Amino acid sequence: MSQEEADLEARLEEQDTFEPPESFVEQANVADPGIYDEFEENWPECWDQAAEFLDWEESYDEILDESTAPTYRWFTNGKLNASYNCLDRHVEDGAKNRAAIKWEGELGETRTYTYSDLLNEVNEFASALRDLGVEEDDVVTMYMPMVPELPIAMLACARIGAPHSVVFAGFSADALATRMNDADSEYLITTDGYYRRGDALDHLSKTNEGLDDVEHETTTVVVDRLGTELEHSLADGQHDYDELVDAHAGETVEPVTRDAEDMLFLMYTSGTTGKPKGVKHTTGGYLSYAAWTSHAVLDLKPEDTYWCSADIGWITGHSYILYGPLALGTTTVMYEGTPDYPEKDRFWEIIEKNRVDVFYTAPTAIRAFMKWGEEYPERHDLSSLRLLGTVGEPINPRAWKWYYEHIGGSDCPIVDTWWQTETGGHMITTLPGICEMKPGSAGPGLPGLDVQIVDGAGEEIDAGQAGYLTVQKPWPGMLRTLYRNDDRFVSEYWKEYSDPEADEWVYFPEDGAKIDEDGYITVLGRVDDVINVSGHRLGTMEIESAVVGVEGIAEAAVVGGDHDVKGEAVYVYAIPEDGREGQEASLEEAAIEGVIDSIGPIAKPEEVIFTPELPKTRSGKIMRRLLEDIASGNELGNTSTLRNPEVVDDIADQVGGN
Ligand code: WT7
Q: Are strands 73-76 and 62-65 parallel, antiparallel or unpaired?
A: antiparallel
pLDDT at 4: 80
Q: What percent of the chain has pLDDT over 70?
A: 99
Q: Domain coordinates of the chain in residue numbers?
A: 16-75+417-522, 529-654
pLDDT at 544: 93
Q: What is the pLDDT of residues 105-153, one digit of tens each?
A: 999 999 999 999 999 999 999 999 999 999 999 999 999 999 999 999 9
Q: What is the position in ligand 1's atom list of the atom closest to the CA of 310?
A: 5
pLDDT at position 350 over 70: yes
Q: What is the pLDDT of residues 207-216, one digit of tens each?
A: 999 999 999 9
Among 121-125, 360-364, 461-465, 651-655, the minimum mean pLDDT is found in 651-655
Q: What is the position in ligand 1's atom list of the atom closest to the CA of 526?
A: 25
- State ipTM: 0.99
DSSP structural state of residue 340: T
Question: How would residue 226 be classed by pLDDT, with cut points 50, 70 and 90?
Answer: very high
- Which residue has a Cα nearest atom 3 of ligand 1? 420
- Which residue has a Cα nearest atom 17 of ligand 1? 418
pLDDT at 378: 98
- 586: nearest Cα among 601, 576, 572, 597: 576
Q: Which of 270, 417, 419 for a ligand 1 pocket mutation test, highest count of atoms within 8 Å of Cβ?
A: 419
Backbone angles phi, psi at 531, to 5 degrees: -120, 165
Strand partners, 451: 471
- Which residue has a Cα nearest atom 12 of ligand 1? 393
pLDDT at position 65 over 50: yes
Q: How far is the CA of 272 from the centre of ligand 1 (A)?
A: 15
- Determine the residue type at 318: H
Q: Which of 272, 393, 521 for a ligand 1 pocket mutation test, highest count of atoms within 8 Å of Cβ?
A: 393
Q: How far is the CA of 131 from the centre of ligand 1 (A)?
A: 39
How many Å apart are CA 44 and CA 476, to the nearest integer? 10
Q: What is the position in ligand 1's atom list of the atom closest to the CA of 315?
A: 4
Give the mean model confidence (pLDDT) for residues 470-479.
98
Q: Transcribe 289-332 into DSSP letters.
A: HHHHHHHHTS---TT-EEEE-S-TTSHHHIIIIIIHHHHTT-EE
Q: What is the position in ligand 1's atom list of the atom closest to the CA of 509?
A: 26
pLDDT at 207: 97
Give residue ranges with CB within 6 A of ligand 1: 269, 315-316, 391-394, 416-421, 442, 509, 511, 523, 525-526, 532, 535, 537
Question: How would residue 621 be classed by pLDDT, with cut points 50, 70 and 90?
Answer: confident
Q: How far is the CA of 493 from the centre of ligand 1 (A)?
A: 15
- Which residue has a Cα nearest atom 6 of ligand 1? 392
How many Å apart are CA 323 and CA 264, to the nearest integer? 11
Give every CB contact of residue 424 below 8 A, 6+ residues apart in sequence: 281, 285, 286, 289, 290, 315, 319, 476, 477, 478, 479
DSSP structural state of residue 459: P
What CATH number matches the domain at 529-654, 1.25.40.10, 3.40.190.10, 3.30.300.30, 3.30.160.270?
Answer: 3.30.300.30
pLDDT at position 452 over 50: yes
pLDDT at 338: 95
pLDDT at position 29 over 60: yes
Q: How far is the CA of 391 from the centre of ligand 1 (A)?
A: 7
pLDDT at 373: 96
Q: How far is the CA of 55 from the centre of ligand 1 (A)?
A: 30
CB atoms under 10 Å from CB of 68, counted, come to 9
Q: How far is the CA of 360 from the centre of ligand 1 (A)?
A: 14
Q: What is the position in ligand 1's atom list of the atom closest to the CA of 421?
A: 22
pLDDT at position 237 over 90: no
Q: What is the pLDDT of residues 527-566, one digit of tens each?
A: 998 999 998 999 999 999 999 999 999 999 999 999 999 9
Q: Which residue has the higher pLDDT, 547 or 6?
A: 547
Q: How far is the CA of 451 from the centre of ligand 1 (A)?
A: 15
Q: How far is the CA of 161 from the centre of ligand 1 (A)?
A: 29
pLDDT at 644: 87
DSSP structural state of residue 254: P
pLDDT at position 379 over 90: yes
pLDDT at position 274 over 80: no
Q: What is the position in ligand 1's atom list of the atom closest to the CA of 316?
A: 4
pLDDT at 658: 41
Q: How far is the CA of 652 from the centre of ligand 1 (A)?
A: 30
* Mean pLDDT for the chain overall: 95
Q: How far is the CA of 221 from the centre of ligand 1 (A)?
A: 32
Among 23-32, 467-476, 577-586, the minimum mean pLDDT is found in 577-586
pTM of the full structure: 0.95
pLDDT at 657: 45
What's the CATH superfamily of 16-75+417-522?
Luciferase; Domain 3 (2.30.38.10)
pLDDT at 656: 59
pLDDT at position 15 over 90: no
pLDDT at 231: 67
Q: Which of 270, 391, 470 for a ligand 1 pocket mutation test, highest count of atoms within 8 Å of Cβ?
A: 391
Q: How far is the CA of 395 from the centre of ligand 1 (A)?
A: 11
